[in-house]
Structure 1
Amino acid sequence: MTVSYLSPVGMLGGGFTPEYFEKAMAERDLDFVAVDSGSTDGGANNLGEDRFFFSRGAVKRDMTLLIRETRKRDIPLLVGSCGGSGGNWNLNWMWEIVQEIAGEEQLSFKVALIPAEPDRDLLVRKYREGKIIPLDPAPEIDEDTLRQTHRIVAMMGPEPIQRAVSEGADVVLAGRASDAGLMAAIPLMKGVAPGLAWHAAKIMECGGAAVTQMVKPEGMLCRFDEDSFVLEPVSPEQTCTPLSIASHALYETSNPIEMLEPGGTMLLNDVSYEAASHRSVRVSGSRFEPAPYTVKLEGAALQGYRSAVLGGITDPMILRDFDNWFEQAKKGADYTVRRALGDELVDQCTVSYRVYGQNAVLGERESREFTNDHEIGIFMDAVAPNQELAASVIATISHTILHFAVPAWQGLVSNLAFPIAPHEIDLGPAYSFVLNHAMELDHPHEAYTVEYKEL
């Protein structure tokens, strides 16, 4: 038994070299092509605001190449987490692009649409049954969260995608989906051992990222044998090594040897990586342990409207005792904004600070100590019930910190350098993820339907 497939790029719309892709398609006897289209890198706003991740033009360019080549060879094309977030709006956005391409290329084919927004009554029922399980860290939720949150998606496993393929879909457009589940769907259908199918999928969903140096986005080829799989970059300019493939288990996971997916856990503790050629790698020993079937939930809720200011400090007198000075400056800013706008309005707002050059990335989780006497950047933002209030709050706060007294100096001082003018930036609606939970399903299709379209 041999099964092979191609993942053209780590994320649809990222761009890939047509000549390399077309050459790989022409030279290989592939069973399917699959591409992930989703990411939470942009936070909750893409899901909450009904936005796409990459530009429409970039996505259409990639999809045109993919549809043209897969239809030429009559093999399925699978697209997961359509439109970036995989909500119903994002899925319909992708469907419109596919219709345009079919018309322009004069192609006829069958499309399957698989929405990933579960029925709210189902969510509430699962909550009452104790089948919505918090993940760490998870916010507190109740039934109102499940009914009122603007968008909630459930990250589907491979089974709804398998159903679409088995019922004759040429192009499968899936809402929010497990990245690995998308890639593993057809190999599992064709009898590939689950451990191998899931492990390969975890690597392949990122396209050609598991090469020694990914200087530009390209694709990856995967071929399964009875007890192993071989990975090879699509680009002749790139190379895989056992180290580059093995290290991919560290990407986007908290545990490199145990990775939970719908229906079970990938176990990578006994995996062997060996060079299959000077640029390809053979992987064996991957296992998959069945478990109760769960899917991850993501929900985006509006928190308000955000305004922000970015400023830099290079005054050595401040930086020598920055922590104490900044604590006093924040207290002074809070006092000033409350005096200017009143407690009632300010209490409706959330103000946050990130100090770049100290602990902006990890915040309270940072374990290292920093001494920085050269330069620090401060990102200040306010979230309020409306944009005008957010702008007023952040303008008052930043102005106070700009001129806050420095013990080593006398008279009026200016502490912040602003990279742009005006330095107050209105960022619009602010969404956050209000769900970090898994939902246990009675069967893999419980939350999903498949709709077919003929083009």
Structure 2
Amino acid sequence: MNECRFIAASGMLGIGVPEDSLRKSLEIKPHFVAADAGTTDAGPFALGKGVCAFPREAILRDMTILLRNTVPAKIPLLIGSVGTGGADVHVDWFMEIVREVAAAEGLQLRVAEIRSEQSKDFLRQKFREGRIRALDPAPHFDESTIERSVRIVGMMGVEPLQAALETGVDLVVAGRCSDPALFAAMPIMMGLPHGLAWHAGKVVECGASVCEKPSHGMIVGYVRHDEVVIQPIGPGLRCTPQTVAAHSLYENADPFFFTEASGVLDISGTTYEQMEDDISVRMQGSRFRAADQITIKLEGAELVGYQSILIGGIRDPFILGEFDAWLGRVQLRVRESVEKVFGRSLEALNARIDYHAYGRNGVMGNLEADRAHVPHEVGLVVEATASDQKTATALVQLTRQPLLHQPTTKWKGSITGFACLHNPSHIERGPVYTFNVNHVVLPESPVSMFRTTFTNIEGAAHATV
């Protein structure tokens, strides 16, 4: 039977790779092992600042386990969207970890580094050619957006991964990458149906999250000409038609059609069936419609400013009984204080102060439906954002005194109704970023926007080809 066997080693590199489950999974003799390592769920900071959302120690641990098991067995390992953001700085950072693992484990391996960060000159050219199109929704985009951006990456599909795999590498270190593409690339190379390959990737991209009770373990996939079989490997893990179908739907505006760089995955006719072992699921009927024009999704981040915060709590029942009015009076006093100190309003300073009341509406904000309930305590996070750190810190410092001593209508005399969590009360968060691009490029080819180099690593030594 012509089939492609693979292992989804982790739903997100950094959360842990159980070595016992990995070794058991390797008994199927997989054609490849893959794991996603990035996401926009973590926010724009990783892309803007050029850092990873996970500590280096966590990535080092997971890569040590993966490389020590895949390289000696000659099983290609694919890691996508490295360093969370998938920019060039993340690829460089990740390769340092790879070299450290190789030295510690005495491994020799050939690595394909695929870079997805886009140059501003290239993007300006494509914009002038009318080859950058907005998705829905999308912020305004023009050449000034390109200039303001700290980094912009393109999301690769299967083609750059396939080009790397064809050279026989041991490891693919990919910049920003479609999650399902990591798992669809090789089955499609082997001549298996695109629809089944893409759907397999969609289902396993988050690892054991496709199970009834997600826990640590592996997900093994079998892509064949007429079916995909999804099998969990790990204590207590079980997939059902419901869990697999549910995972097929999430994170998309349309439950049946999923757009990738090279086309659209159509699962409107897919069937899901429990296998005889009662933990695996068979999928059939998934289709893929090739696009007339390849599109590469762009993600960008720009600096918003600098931020300082203050965290504290309120338990006074009189304050909580009139909390909205009380906080409104605090905000008014703070605004007056800002104008006295700086001689200008918050708006003139191009700054803002936000108040997040956890226990009240800190999560939902203005969308909170239950505003009548009076909690017994509220945690308040005050967030000052300005064009420089010094101003942001000064602004948040001006909120402390009003919060501490703002009177309530239910009590005569001075009060202290706010407890600061830290001393000093303020914390400097540093630079703050925002996503500013949700567009696609119409490229010349599926690989033209991505740069691949090959590195031979022998223990501590390495050479780039």
Where on the TM-score scale, by shorter chain, does this alignment land: which range?
over 0.9
**For residue 463 of structure 2, what is the aligned residue in structure 1?**
none
In 1, the alpha carbon distance for the partners of 2:132 and 2:403 equals 44
State yes or no: 1:240 paired with 2:239. Answer: yes
How many residue pairs get matched?
452
Is 1:119–1:447's contact at 8 Å kept on the other side of the alignment?
no
**For residue 14 of structure 2, what is the aligned residue in structure 1?**
13
Is 1:333–1:401's contact at 8 Å kept on the other side of the alignment?
no
Residue type of the partner of 1:20? Answer: S
Residue type of the partner of 1:274? Answer: E
State yes or no: 1:390 paired with 2:389. Answer: no
Q: Which runs of 5+ in 2 are unaligned?
A: 458-465
State yes or no: 1:117 paired with 2:117. Answer: yes
Structure 1 residue 324: Cα displacement: 3.6
Is 1:337–1:397's contact at 8 Å kept on the other side of the alignment?
no
Residue type of the partner of 1:127? Answer: F
- Pick closer, same or farther for the CA change 1:265–1:247 going to 2, 3 Å: same
Q: Indicate the SS of the match to 2:100.
A: helix
Which is strand-richer, 1 or 2? 2
Is 1:294–1:440's contact at 8 Å kept on the other side of the alignment?
yes
Is 1:161–1:182's contact at 8 Å kept on the other side of the alignment?
yes
In 1, the alpha carbon distance for the partners of 2:228 and 2:431 equals 45
- Pick closer, same or farther for the CA change 1:258–1:327 going to 2, 3 Å: farther
- Pick closer, same or farther for the CA change 1:389–1:262 going to 2, 3 Å: same
What are the superposed Cα offsets for residues 318-351 of structure 1, whole Å, 9 maximum, x if unpaired? 3344334433432332122222232177623222
- Pick closer, same or farther for the CA change 1:142–1:166 going to 2, 3 Å: same
Is 1:246–1:273's contact at 8 Å kept on the other side of the alignment?
yes
State yes or no: 1:194 paired with 2:206. Answer: no
Structure 1 residue 307: Cα displacement: 0.5
Residue type of the partner of 2:147? Answer: R
**For residue 72 of structure 1, what is the aligned residue in structure 2?**
72
Alignment TM-score, normalising by the size of structure 2: 0.91
Structure 1 residue 446: Cα displacement: 2.0
Matches within 5 A, 1:56-71: 56-71=56-71
In 2, the alpha carbon distance for the partners of 1:178 and 1:255 equals 17
**For residue 44 of structure 2, what is the aligned residue in structure 1?**
44
In 1, the alpha carbon distance for the partners of 2:284 and 2:49 equals 43
Q: Indicate the SS of the match to 1:428.
A: strand
In 1, the alpha carbon distance for the partners of 2:73 and 2:155 equals 30
In 2, the alpha carbon distance for the partners of 1:254 and 1:363 equals 23
**For residue 258 of structure 1, what is the aligned residue in structure 2?**
257
- Pick closer, same or farther for the CA change 1:327–1:257 going to 2, 3 Å: farther
**Further displaced range: 293-302 or 91-100:** 293-302
**For residue 435 of structure 2, what is the aligned residue in structure 1?**
433
**For residue 227 of structure 1, what is the aligned residue in structure 2?**
226
Residue type of the partner of 1:140? Answer: H
**For residue 2 of structure 1, what is the aligned residue in structure 2?**
3
State yes or no: 1:443 paired with 2:445. Answer: yes
Residue type of the partner of 1:269? Answer: S
Structure 1 residue 437: Cα displacement: 2.1
In 2, the alpha carbon distance for the partners of 1:111 and 1:282 equals 34
Structure 1 residue 178: Cα displacement: 0.9
What are the superposed Cα offsets for residues 90-140 of structure 1, whole Å, 9 maximum, x if unpaired? 101111121222233332222111111012222112222333223344322
Q: Which runs of 5+ in 1 are unaligned?
A: none
**For residue 332 of structure 1, what is the aligned residue in structure 2?**
333
**Further displaced range: 192-201 or 321-330:** 321-330
What are the superposed Cα offsets for residues 180-228 of structure 1, whole Å, 9 maximum, x if unpaired? 11221111111221221111111211111111112x4332110112221
**For residue 31 of structure 1, what is the aligned residue in structure 2?**
31
In 1, the alpha carbon distance for the partners of 2:246 and 2:3 equals 26
Alignment TM-score, normalising by the size of structure 1: 0.93
**For residue 461 of structure 2, what is the aligned residue in structure 1?**
none
**Further displaced range: 303-312 or 285-294:** 285-294
- Pick closer, same or farther for the CA change 1:55–1:340 going to 2, 3 Å: same
